[in-house]
Amino acid sequence: MALWLLLHLPFLGLGLGQPSFPGHSPRASAAAWPALFSRDSPEAAPEALQIPSNGSAPLLVTAQVFVSNVFHVDILRYTVSSVLLLRLSWLDTRLAWNASAHPRRAVTLPWDSLWTPGLTIQEALWVDWRDQSPRARVDPDGNVELYLALTAETNCDFELLRFPRDQSDCSLSFYALSNTVTELEFRAYAVNEIVSVKREYVVWDLKTQVPPQQLVPCFQVTLTLQNTALKAIIALLVPGEALLVADVCGGLLPLGAAERLGYKVTLLLGCLVFHSSLVQALPSSSSCNPLLIYYFTVLLLLLFLSTAETVLLAGLLARGSQGAKVQPSLVPGRGQQNHENPGPAPQGTPGGREGSGGSWAEAADHVFFLAYVAGVVCSQVIFAGIWMWMVCKSDPAPGEAAPHGGQPRL
Ligand SMILES: *[C@@H]1O[C@H](CO)[C@@H](O)[C@H](O)[C@H]1NC(C)=O
Ligand SMILES: *[C@@H]1O[C@H](CO)[C@@H](O)[C@H](O)[C@H]1NC(C)=O
Domain coordinates in residue numbering, the chain: 52-227, 232-327+346-389
Residue-wise pLDDT tens for the chain (410 aa)?
333 333 333 333 333 333 333 333 333 333 334 444 444 555 556 787 889 988 899 999 999 999 999 999 999 999 999 999 999 999 999 999 998 888 888 999 998 899 999 999 999 999 999 988 899 999 999 999 999 999 999 999 888 888 888 899 999 999 999 998 899 999 999 999 988 778 888 888 999 999 888 888 999 999 999 998 888 788 888 888 999 999 999 888 888 788 888 999 999 998 998 889 888 888 887 778 888 889 999 999 999 999 999 999 888 888 887 777 665 544 444 444 444 444 344 444 444 444 566 688 888 889 999 999 999 999 999 999 999 998 888 777 776 655 554 444 44
CA of 106 to the centre of ligand 2 (A): 18
**Residues 288 and 320 sit within 8 Å (Cβ to Cβ):** no
For residue 202, give every residue at least 6 positions away whose Cβ sits within 8 Å of its Cβ, in sequence order, or none: 194, 225, 226, 228
What separation, in Å, do the N-terminal and C-terminal C-alpha atoms of the chain show? 35
Q: Which ligand is nearest to the CA of 97?
A: 2
> CATH top-level class for 232-327+346-389?
mainly alpha
CA-wise closest residue to 117 among 213, 216, 244 = 216
Q: What is the CA radius of gyration of the chain?
A: 36
Residue nearest to atom 2 of ligand 2 (CA): 101
CATH class of the domain at 52-227: mainly beta
Q: Residue 226 is which amino acid?
A: Q
d(CA 117, ligand 1 centre) in Å: 16
Q: Separation of 184 CA from ligand 1 center, angstroms?
A: 10
79-91 and 59-74 beta bridge pairing: antiparallel
d(CA 405, CA 186): 15
* Beta strand 184-192 pairing with 59-74: parallel
- How far is Cα 192 from Cα 186, in angstroms, rounded to an integer? 19
Other CB atoms within a 10 A radius of the CB of residue 354 amount to 25
DSSP class of residue 76 equals T
Q: What is the pTM of this model?
A: 0.75
Asked if 306 and 250 count as a contact pair (C-beta separation under 8 A), the reply is yes
Residue among 93, 100, 102 whose CB has most ligand 2 atoms within 8 A, to mutate: 100
Residues with CB under 6 A from ligand 2: 98, 100-101
